[in-house]
Chain A
Amino acid sequence: MKRFILVLLLTCISLLTGCWDYIEYNNLSQVYALAIDYDPITHLVSLSEQHFEGGADGSGSGSSSKDSGTKELPPKGLVHSATDYTISDTLDRIQQSVSNKLFFGYLKVIIIGEDAAKHITRDIIEFLSRTPAIKPTTYLIITEGKAKESIRTYDSESLVPAGKILALLFDTVKYTGSSFKVSINDFKLLLLREGHEPVIPRLITTVTKEKKEQENPDEKIFVDQQAGHHKLLGMGVFKKDKFVGWLNPEETEGLALIKNEEIRNFQSIGENNSANNNAIFMLTDNSSKIKPELKNEKLVMNVSIEAKAVLKKYFTEKAQLITPEITEMLESELSESLKAKVLAAIKKAQKEFDSDIFGFGFEFFRKYPSIWNNEYQQKWNKIFQDLEVQVDVKAKVINTGTNIESLDSGD
């Protein structure tokens, strides 16, 4: 046996001398963001990717050790784009013009153009979930028009590239309430799940300096970048795998409240959209419960939302102590304000999109699985449109801030 082990070890030493997967970090192009567009007339898919050469992470140093450390690389990353009939073919075409291997381990966001979302969402998700290098936790974003325009827009103030700034924006969405994170896995789960339709955060890109579009942009693989800003504002609504429309920031907040997404933003009551609103709160906690109920064979969906808030601003005509009665009145007004947002989201989803983005159908299935399987599953679309939803919002002001007295309005 010892002789055999010796022979085996010698064989291993000669055969397994190195690692097949060894690759220099500098020989990798770290892809940070992907943008997918689709032309419904030509049926061509356009894919843009933003990457950093190994060693330059886009943090602003702008230098790379590649080519003896002499080559200066733009801190805003490099954007390449190609067009073909499938996503994989476009990737091949991009790789042909990028000297390093495209590495997707650091991919943060995937931006989907509106037309792509309408026509090839299923293809996109299928491609993404079958590519082991792409993490299922990568965030999805949808944008009006072309996604390529968003990926080639870097932050004009700090030269931070689109991919990085978008990933950072997701860290702060809960403080605005105007959007929430959706990963590849989240989206795929809702595509597979009955009675719950998916949504994707909406990206709005504004360009600071208009640049003249290249003569034939699809023919050019390297893409010039432009300065601008990005905002995550609202959500794109899907019905199965088809994009059907947008939710505005208020409706998004309503959806987020129903879906139990964390919101820590400011809420104002009184005269909205003006400096005269008499009270401003900051949400510190929110939770929701959906309880389906069958009353005489009629389905009623009970949505109860609880929110906790702290008072951030309160004006009255005369300065006065904030009594329990006043707190109660403020809580009631805050509850009504939140309820209005929730009802707006429900109305739009029912009447305009006919898409159960709240998961009412799935909640019904959880409570009454056999009734769902035998009866409701097939006709859920029809039922959802006219579904009675009872919304109960209970807001609690847990803290009046550093002042227990209101300021007078100064009038």
Chain B
Amino acid sequence: MDVEDKMLALQTIPTVALASMAGPGIIIGAYLGKIAGRSFSLAIPAGIILLLPLFLWCLSLSKNYSGKSLFNSFEKGIGSIFMYFFIFTYIVINLILSVSYLLIFSETVKTFFLENTPIWAIILVSMIVSLFIAADGFHIMLRAVSLLTYSAVISFMVIHAFGLPEFKMENITPIFDSTWIQFLKGTLFSAGLSCEGVIFYIAVSPMLPKTKKAAVYVVIGIVGWAIYFFIGNLISVGVVGFEIYVSDPHGALSVARNIHPFAFISGLEIFTLYPFVVAAIVKTSFYLYSSASIISERFGRKIYQPVIIILALLVFAACAYLEDFNNGFIISTFLAQYVLLPFCMITLFSMWLSDRFNMRSAEK
């Protein structure tokens, strides 16, 4: 784990920010339409932008903990009991998120591409690849993630580019036909979905360079994702129609199935297979890394690899037991609606409070 001592390259930061936030949003973003109504396309970027202060707060808190996780702030501040409570909750949330991702993406791949393949086989393969990516530490993981993320985004761009000729304005307007409460709920749900990025940043922000430039790159990543997700959603809704988009839980995939650019190509769903597999692998490796790195920080760096293997086995066992798209969908929407955003805010606030205690006691 010596690699952890080195800071992350600036150019990788936007990709990491994007990859950490993109996830089931590409599938359950459609659920947002039910909450926010026709204004959901606007609620998506609004929710993502809403998270900017949390990301920057993470970065500012990490200034005093270079190379160490932010949970260290609790130890000298409000006490180690709180620290273990937050670490435990953090790890549980990470593992549940991994389970929900693997269930959603694996079941989608099974339904549309590998009908006869048992779900455990798809989950096992995704899990093994995630493990390989995360097992060798921070830098190797993020290099792999950057490459995978770029290629997945390009794959999505193909769908959106071919979707443009089938885009109909009447499918998206009137975009403001929602009440303010609906829009607010949608924005909060979108923020909750993307809050997975903050969860990851709580673990990795101490590894980011402590410069203004690094903060700018984080902002570029977040704003870039907000813009891309907004445009992508607009095109998707313009192709299939709002009413169908919000009734289909497979978002991007259902859009791709409706695009047939040539007589001999009926549907571009193959272009969603790769991003879906990438999303499952990237997110799982992120959550395995976050959990394992925090446990190994407490109990010794040497146990990082055994811990990550045990966590992977736990996640695999939970997925094999649940093996259900609906379970993954319900877990994911529940976390986005009620858990992630409050947890991140409470955790960051407690860390900030601890920091204040530390500073005061140091002054005395």
Q: Are B243 and A136 in contact (CB under 8 A)?
A: no
- Which of B118, B241, B244 lies in contact with A20, CB distance below 8 A? B118
CB distance from B279 to the nearest CB of A (A): 19
- Which of A15, A16, A137, A366 lies in contact with B257, CB distance below 8 A? A137
Q: Are B170 and A366 in contact (CB under 8 A)?
A: yes
CB distance from B269 to the nearest CB of A (A): 9
Chain A residues contacting B244 (CB-CB under 8 Å) are: 185, 188-189, 192
A137 to B260, CA, bound (A): 8
- Which of A15, A20, A136, A171 lies in contact with B117, CB distance below 8 A? A20
A363 to B171, CA, bound (A): 11
Within 8 A of A (CB), among B320-337: none
Tell me whether B211 is interfacial, beta carbon within 8 Å.
no
A363 to B174, CA, bound (A): 10
Q: Is the interface of A mostly helix, strand, loop or mixed?
A: helix
Tell me whether B81 is interfacial, beta carbon within 8 Å.
no
Chain A residues contacting B136 (CB-CB under 8 Å) are: 1
Tell me whether B317 is interfacial, beta carbon within 8 Å.
no
Q: Are B174 and A365 in contact (CB under 8 A)?
A: yes
Q: How many residues of A contact B (CB 8 A)?
A: 28
Tell me whether A362 is interfacial, beta carbon within 8 Å.
yes
Tell me whether A369 is interfacial, beta carbon within 8 Å.
yes
Q: Are B125 and A135 in contact (CB under 8 A)?
A: no
A362 to B168, CA, bound (A): 14
Tell me whether B144 is interfacial, beta carbon within 8 Å.
no
Q: How many residues of B contact A (CB 8 A)?
A: 35
Chain B residues contacting A363 (CB-CB under 8 Å) are: 170
Q: Are B254 and A4 in contact (CB under 8 A)?
A: no
Q: Are B241 and A189 in contact (CB under 8 A)?
A: yes
A362 to B177, CA, bound (A): 13
Tell me whether A5 is interfacial, beta carbon within 8 Å.
yes
Chain B residues contacting A365 (CB-CB under 8 Å) are: 174, 177
* Selected interface stretch from B107-115, B189-197, B202-210, B222-230: B107-115
Within 8 A of A (CB), among B11-68: none
- Which of B125, B241, B266, B309 lies in contact with A16, CB distance below 8 A? B125
Within 8 A of A (CB), among B75-114: 111-114
Chain A residues contacting B247 (CB-CB under 8 Å) are: 192
Identify the closest chain B residue to A196 (Cβ): B170
Interface string of A167-207 (1 = CB under 8 A from B): 00001000000000000010011001100000000000000
Tell me whether B151 is interfacial, beta carbon within 8 Å.
no
CB distance from A17 to the nearest CB of B (A): 11
Within 8 A of B (CB), among A356-397: 359, 362-363, 365-366, 369, 373
With A12-B128, A21-B115, A193-B243 known to touch, is A136 a contact of B254 (CB < 8 Å)?
A: yes
Q: Are A193 and B257 in contact (CB under 8 A)?
A: no
A373 to B254, CA, bound (A): 28
Interface string of A124-144 (1 = CB under 8 A from B): 000000001101110000000
A290 to B170, CA, bound (A): 11
Tell me whether B319 is interfacial, beta carbon within 8 Å.
no
Chain B residues contacting A5 (CB-CB under 8 Å) are: 132
Which 5 residue pairs of A and B lie closest in terms of their CB atoms, listed nearest first? A192-B243, A20-B117, A369-B177, A189-B241, A20-B116
Further pairs besides A20-B116, A135-B266, A185-B244: 9, Cβ < 8 Å: A5-B132, A8-B131, A12-B128, A15-B121, A16-B121, A20-B121, A21-B117, A135-B257, A369-B177
